[in-house]
């Protein structure tokens, strides 16, 4: 998906919502657990209930890899079921020496046909570069994450700048706003002002809204740019909104609340 196509979808739906399909068998409604294809059926119903309210879906691959070959099959069928106008994210956090990263890129961009993949930048440019060499595909590089352990490295200062600032400045030169995004956690919303000074035009994938306590209002206030520039992810708050047979209805209700709030912020641009 191109940047223009993504922006068009945001404008059309008045939404920058990304729904996280981090599907845990133990957390899906009990009535579905006896279904012969329980996880895929759950994903289908969530997608059907939310597809007009969001512009992206993020699949955390760990929840599928844990199931072995069956999990990979479910993940492939899920990404194929997502409507083509949606931006798809493989939340795999890959990153290795160049020839290995090339194989990861082919796996998620050609075999599974995701639009993007999350990438860890610790090993440097040659580990990220292979993900940037595919037309209309995106690398989403970890910048400032929402977990408490981000203080161990990301928020340590090197001379006069934080390590995450060094990452943003350096990595932004490896690609363009047309093929490169950054992960910035919603729980670090007050830092978005300084982050936007470093990368004013790039899209940011923002996890941490919902159960992790991030504020959509603050993220939008400090993170939006003229093209929107945000994909705000909500996973558990949406997909596990109900443990009963009405789970898809309740998921839609929560997604609508996010979309309605986002429409208001977009109207101010």
Query: What is the mean pLDDT for each group of 10 consecutive residues in the chain (269 residues)?
Result: 98 98 97 97 98 98 98 98 98 96 98 97 97 98 91 90 96 98 88 95 93 87 97 97 97 98 96
**Six-digit token pair at 69?**
């070959």
How many other CB atoms are found less than 10 A from the CB of residue 266?
18
Q: What Cα–Cα distance (Å) separates residue 154 from each residue in 29, 167, 217?
A: 37, 9, 24
How many other CB atoms are found less than 10 A from the CB of residue 42?
25
| CA proximity to 17, closest of 53, 70, 71 | 53
Query: Rounded CA gap, 236 and 220, in Å?
Result: 20
Whole-number pLDDT of residue 209:
87
Provide the residue count of the chain.
269
Partner residues linked to 89 by β-bridges? 58, 116
Matching residue, tokens 């996280």: 20
Which domain range does residue 71 map to? 3-266
Query: Rounded CA gap, 143 and 150, in Å?
Result: 10
**Six-digit token pair at 136?**
């209309």
CATH code (residue 92): 3.20.20.70
Query: Rounded CA gap, 237 and 81, in Å?
Result: 22
Whole-number pLDDT of residue 162:
94
As annotated, the active-site residues are 93
The total of structural domains in the chain comes to: 1
Whole-number pLDDT of residue 190:
79
């Amino acid at each position: 998906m191109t940047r223009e196509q993504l922006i068009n979808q945001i404008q059309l739906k008045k939404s920058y919502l990304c729904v996280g399909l981090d599907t845990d068998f133990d957390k899906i409604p009990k009535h579905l657990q006896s279904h012969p294809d329980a996880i895929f059926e759950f994903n289908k119903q969530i997608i059907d209930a939310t597809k007009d309210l969001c512009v992206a879906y993020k699949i955390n691959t760990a929840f599928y890899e844990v199931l072995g070959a069956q999990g990979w099959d479910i993940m492939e069928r899920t990404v194929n079921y997502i409507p083509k106008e949606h931006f798809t994210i493989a939340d795999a956090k890959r990153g290795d020496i160049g020839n290995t990263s090339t194989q990861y890129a082919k796996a998620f961009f050609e075999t599974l046909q995701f639009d993007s993949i999350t990438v860890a930048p610790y090993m440097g440019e040659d580990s990220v570069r292979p993900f940037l060499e595919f037309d209309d595909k995106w690398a989403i590089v970890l910048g400032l994450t929402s977990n408490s352990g981000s203080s161990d490295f990301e928020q340590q200062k090197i001379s006069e700048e934080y390590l995450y600032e060094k990452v943003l400045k350096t990595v932004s030169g490896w690609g363009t706003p047309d093929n490169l995004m950054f992960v910035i956690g919603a729980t670090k919303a007050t830092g978005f002002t300084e982050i936007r000074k470093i990368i004013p035009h790039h899209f940011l994938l923002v996890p941490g809204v919902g159960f992790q306590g991030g504020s959509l209002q603050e993220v939008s206030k400090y993170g939006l740019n003229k093209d929107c520039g945000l994909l705000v992810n909500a996973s558990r708050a949406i997909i596990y909104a109900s443990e009963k047979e009405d789970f898809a209805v309740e998921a839609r209700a929560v997604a609508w609340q996010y979309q309605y709030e986002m429409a208001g912020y977009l109207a101010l641009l």
